[in-house]
Amino acid sequence: MLNTLSNQTRRALLLSVASAVLCCTPLALTQAHAATSVSTETAYVSKINSFTSKDFLRGIWRQYAGLSVPATQASIDAFKPGVHLRFADGQLREISKVFRVGSNLSIYVKGGLLDGNKVGSPNTVSTVPAPRSGSAPPATADTSTTITQANPAFMARGDIKGIDITPPVNDWEAPAYGMTQTRLTALSAAGFNTLRVWISLEEFLAPPVSMEATLSRWIGYIDRAAQTGFRVQVAWASTWEERIAVVNDPASRVRFHDALNTLCSAMGSYFPKQQVALEMLNEPPGEHLTPGYYRSAAPGWHSACRSKAPDMTIILQPEAGWHGALNRFNLSDFDANTMFSFHPYAPGEFTHQGIGSQPHLYNVPMPITRYVGGQTQMVADVSARVNADPHLSSERKKSEIARYSRLINDLWYDNGSRWEDWSELQRWVVSSGTNPKRIIAGEFGVVSEFNYNGTPALKDVASRAHFMRKIREQTQANQFAGWVVHQAFGDFNLFQQNSVGEHGDRLIPELTEALFGSQPLQLGPPVTGH
For residue 97, what pLDDT is reported? 77
Q: What are residue 207's phi and psi, to 5 degrees?
A: -55, 125
DSSP letter (8 states) at residue 414: G
Sign of the alpha-carbon torsion through 32, 37, 43, 49? negative
CATH fold for the domain made of 24-127? Elongation Factor Tu (Ef-tu); domain 3 (2.40.30)
Residues in the chain: 530
CB 388 within 8 A of CB 440: no
Nearest to 98 by CA among 31, 45, 52: 31
| Beta carbons of 357 and 336 less than 8 angstroms apart | no
Max Cα distance, the chain (Å): 88
37: CB partners within 8 A, 6+ apart: 73, 74, 77
Of 409, 391, 497, 406, nearest in space to 452 by CA: 497
CA separation for the pair 312, 333 (Å, rounded): 16
Cα–Cα dist 340/371, whole Å: 36
Tell me the fold of 151-349+417-516. Answer: TIM Barrel (3.20.20)
CA atoms within 13 A on the CB side of 396: 7
- Do strands 92-101 and 84-86 pair parallel, antiparallel, or not at all (unpaired)? antiparallel
User: What is residue 101's predicted lDDT score, i.e. its pLDDT?
Assistant: 59
| Residue ranges matching CATH 3.20.20.80 in the chain | 151-349+417-516
Do 372 and 362 form a contact (C-beta atoms < 8 A)? no
Residues of the chain with CATH 2.40.30: 24-127
Name residues of the chain where pLDDT drops below 50. Answer: 1-40, 131-149
Residue 197's nearest CA partner among 223, 228, 222 is 222
| Cβ atoms within 10 Å, residue 303 | 13
Q: What is the pTM of this model?
A: 0.73
pLDDT tens by residue, 513-522:
999 999 999 9
In tens, the pLDDT along 16-39 reads 433 333 333 334 443 333 333 334
Q: How far is CA 189 from CA 63, 64, 450, 509, 512, in A?
A: 12, 9, 25, 12, 10
Classified as helix, coil or strand, 521 is: coil
Residues 6 or more apart whose CB falls under 8 angstroms from that of 226 comprise 232, 271, 275, 276
Per the prediction, the chain carries an average pLDDT of 87
- Between the two ends of the chain, the Cα-to-Cα distance in Å is 57
* R_g of the chain, CA atoms, integer Å: 25
Q: Which helix (H) or strand (E) holds 50?
A: none
